[in-house]
């Protein structure tokens, strides 16, 4: 995406006919006049001096009926965020054309990678998804790509973002403040309305959390970001992909790359919630066999 906001957008003929071309009104300016609520996030995000610091955002994703909807919602938040590079890692043995076409349609800077999660690590039919570590192979491939395609001296940040979470645009402003590792609250997680670090003068001295009480760093993956330099410094670090690693992934990476007294409390001393661990409910879909018996035939995944 270019830094000239006016040239980053196009309009169809129905919109263009209402514009006097002699006045050289840019599409982005026209958009702001139509939707004045965008003015504040656009101005704050794009004029923030810290926006010079790039964010590498890592998002694992897998084929499911809700995938397109989730990624579309997320992409529309990312339009408000300057200087962000999206690393999408698909849980498939091959990259799917349907996903790649979708990502291209967003016109956001991205790289599309893939690796399949082994069957033995997938939850069984009657097993809750949280009982298996999800997205770990995908995160590891993304870390490998980052190490191979960025400079050890680059002043940038790395953030892990699930495709079905909900993100406020102000979160990315907070991420750009990080010197080494920053932390903040996450809403709707851990059987609570929120989990959060309890901070004093910008430092963590305790945590508000309920489940997995023995975690060293009791936070969700959405609740921290790290400086790119740490990813290069700890070049051998990979997420544990074993089945018994549920609930420990955040503590493992933070315990490797930082310590409690080095954590930086962000989001107004961890008092503001800018990310929510929302989960898209899986749709009940009529089986293809029932549809065939009703004289109907379609492939939902390939048609979306």
Helices and strands, counts by H and E, the chain = 12, 12
- Rg for the chain (alpha carbons), in Å? 21
**4 appears as a binding residue in the annotation:** no
C-alpha neighbours within 13 Å on the C-beta side of residue 217: 27
Residue 91 and residue 140 in contact, taking contact as beta carbons nearer than 8 Å: no
C-alpha neighbours within 13 Å on the C-beta side of residue 131: 7
- Residue entry with tokens 């003929």: 13
Say which of 90, 174, 248, 250 is annotated catalytic.
Answer: 250
Token pair of 258 as six digits? 């930082």
User: How far is 182 from 157, CA to CA, in rounded Å?
Assistant: 10
> Is-catalytic flag, 250?
yes
Residue 174: closest CA among 80, 249, 269, 258: 269
Residue 67 and residue 37 in contact, taking contact as beta carbons nearer than 8 Å: no
Binding residues for Mn(2+) are: 164
Active site (catalytic) residues: 250
């Amino acid at each position: 995406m270019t830094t000239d906001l006016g040239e980053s957008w196009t309009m169809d003929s129905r919109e263009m006919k209402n514009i006097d071309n002699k006045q050289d009104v840019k599409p982005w300016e026209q958009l702001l006049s139509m939707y004045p609520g965008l003015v504040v996030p656009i101005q704050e995000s794009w004029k923030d001096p810290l926006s010079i610091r790039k964010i590498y955002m890592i998002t694992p994703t897998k084929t499911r009926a809700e995938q397109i909807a989730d990624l579309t919602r997320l992409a529309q938040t990312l339009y408000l965020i300057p200087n962000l590079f999206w690393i999408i890692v698909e849980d498939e043995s091959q990259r799917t054309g349907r996903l790649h076409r979708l990502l291209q349609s967003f016109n956001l800077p991205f790289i599309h990678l893939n690796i399949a999660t082994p069957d033995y690590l997938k939850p069984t039919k009657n097993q809750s998804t949280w009982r298996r570590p999800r997205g770990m192979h995908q995160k590891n491939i993304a870390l490998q790509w980052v190490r191979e395609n960025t400079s050890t001296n680059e002043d940038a940040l790395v953030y892990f973002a699930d495709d079905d979470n909900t993100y406020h645009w102000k979160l990315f402003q907070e991420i750009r403040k990080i010197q080494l590792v920053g932390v903040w609250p996450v809403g709707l997680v851990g059987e609570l309305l929120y989990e959060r670090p309890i901070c004093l003068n910008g430092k963590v001295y305790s945590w508000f959390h309920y489940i997995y009480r023995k975690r060293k760093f009791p936070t969700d993956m959405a609740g921290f970001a790290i400086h790119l330099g740490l990813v290069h410094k700890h070049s051998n670090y990979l997420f544990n992909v074993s089945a018994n690693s549920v609930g420990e992934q955040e503590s493992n990476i933070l315990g490797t790359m930082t310590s409690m007294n080095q954590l930086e409390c962000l989001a107004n001393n961890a008092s503001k919630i800018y990310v929510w661990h929302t989960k898209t409910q899986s749709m009940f879909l009529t089986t293809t066999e029932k549809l065939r018996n009703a004289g109907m035939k379609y492939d939902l995944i390939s048609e979306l």
